[in-house]
């Protein structure tokens, strides 16, 4: 008699994996690469207002999503709620837009990796770094669930620690402990600051 086969799904990811992946996943590439452009375009005050405004919108979005998930737990994506509470067409469009968002994000992250690495190694063609990044991403996703979770856990931890170190170094630089001139809050009153000319026109 053949032994009974077990078809159950085993939970290989622990709470620490999920928590760190969620925390690291919320820190996008733009924080490291595009923040300077945002401050240059909008000024320090404009960038701060933009971050606060988007932060408030994201907060209300996530609390609304949490209420819907508590009221109606589903195994599908959040586009299911758009189908349920608004219209099936909106749910369909939202699902494909979300897929397109991540398809573009992958390409942007790979291109950004090449741009950052070429800063230190300008003689190496950019496509080499893009290929290396693509192979790494594919390899990590091809691993077992537990190996994927461990890899993502440590990479996310590195990202979070890096942000914290940048914040500490930034504060120490502003107050002059790291050496040089203590700028304090002078950048908020430099020339047209805290808002740039472009932001004031807006």
**pLDDT tens per residue across span 137-147:** 899 888 888 88
Peptide bond before residue 158 is cis, with ω within 30 degrees of 0: no
Mean pLDDT, rounded, for 63-70: 90
Q: What pLDDT score was predicted for residue 16?
A: 87
Closest listed residue to residue 47, CA positions, set 32, 36, 61: 36
Q: What pLDDT score was predicted for residue 1?
A: 47
Span of 88-102, 111-125, 170-184, 188-202 with lowest mean pLDDT: 188-202
Closest listed residue to residue 196, CA positions, set 82, 39, 35, 19: 39
Q: What pLDDT score was predicted for residue 202?
A: 57
Residues of the chain above pLDDT 90, percent: 27
Q: What pLDDT score was predicted for residue 145?
A: 86
The residue with greater pLDDT, 34 or 191, is 34
pLDDT band of 56, cuts 50, 70, 90 = very high
Contacts of 129 (CB under 8 A, 6+ apart): 113, 114, 117, 118
Per the prediction, the chain carries an average pLDDT of 84
**pLDDT above 70 (res 2):** no
| Per-position DSSP letters for 117-158, written without gaps between them | HHHH-TTS-HHHHHHHHHHHHHHHHHS-HHHHHHHHHHHHHH
User: CA-CA-CA-CA torsion for 186, 191, 195, 197, nearest 10 degrees?
Assistant: -170
Cα(64)–Cα(96) distance, integer angstroms: 21
Contacts of 77 (CB under 8 A, 6+ apart): 95, 98
């Amino acid at each position: 008699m053949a032994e009974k086969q077990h078809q159950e799904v085993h939970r290989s990811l622990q709470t620490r994996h999920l928590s760190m992946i969620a925390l690291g996943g919320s820190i996008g590439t733009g924080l490291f690469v595009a923040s300077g452009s945002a401050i240059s375009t909008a000024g320090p005050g404009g960038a701060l207002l933009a971050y606060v405004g988007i932060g408030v919108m994201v907060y209300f979005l996530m609390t609304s999503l949490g209420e819907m998930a508590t009221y109606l737990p589903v195994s599908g994506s959040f586009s299911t709620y758009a189908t349920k509470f608004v219209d099936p067409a909106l749910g369909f469009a939202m699902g494909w837009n979300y897929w397109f968002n991540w398809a573009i994000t992958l390409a942007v992250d790979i291109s950004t990796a090449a741009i950052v690495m070429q800063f230190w190694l300008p003689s190496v063609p950019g496509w080499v770094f893009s290929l290396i990044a693509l192979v790494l991403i594919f390899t990590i996703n091809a691993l077992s669930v537990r190996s994927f979770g461990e890899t993502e856990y440590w990479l996310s931890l590195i990202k979070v620690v890096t942000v914290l170190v940048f914040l500490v170094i930034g504060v120490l630089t502003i107050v002059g402990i790291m050496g040089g001139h203590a700028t304090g809050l002078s950048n908020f009153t430099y020339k047209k600051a805290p808002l740039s000319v472009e932001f004031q026109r807006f």
